[in-house]
Amino acid sequence: MADKPRYWTEPFVNELAAAFNRSDRFQRAAKSFSETLILRCLDTPDGKDCTATFTFERGRCVRHTYAEADAPSAMRRQPFDKGQALARSTAPYELWVRLDRGEINVAQALVSPSYQVEGSKLKIMRHVGVLTAMNAVVAGIPKSY
């Protein structure tokens, strides 16, 4: 189907933000979640590095942004500010695809040397249920690769 957004493009990120708010499972898991998460994808098939930022208030995605630049981009060297977000996750496109397709789970991604998580590990672990529900929303969106 030609109208499916392609994974890690702006139309996909826009659909994902809306899908968080439509998902009953995510809403139940994230009902007290009020944080900002930054996800970065490196080396997409278009030769881009991408960043998607999602801000949640009591589980509702109230703001999201998307940015991309030619890879390897300067975004790879940007420092992480713990005051602006709970966490920042960075991985190459191929690892995000494996996670999305269910070839690996969140725990396997976290131990991969290709997957980087920045932020307070203790705070992040408190929200593992939200992150798992988030991954289910991502996986459930019809998309092309």
Distance from C-alpha of 23 to C-alpha of 143, rounded to nearest angstrom: 17
pLDDT at residue 105 tops 90? no
Q: How confident is the model at residue 2 (pLDDT cuts 50, 70, 90)?
A: low
**What is the pLDDT confidence band of residue 19, given thresholds at 50, 70 and 90?**
very high
pTM higher than the cut 0.85? yes
pLDDT attached to residue 1: 46
List pLDDT tens digits, range 50-99. 999 999 999 999 999 999 999 999 999 999 999 999 999 999 999 999 99
Decide: helix, strand or coil at residue 47.
coil
Q: What are the structural domain ranges in the chain?
A: 10-140
Task: Determine the CATH number of domain 10-140.
Answer: 3.30.1050.10
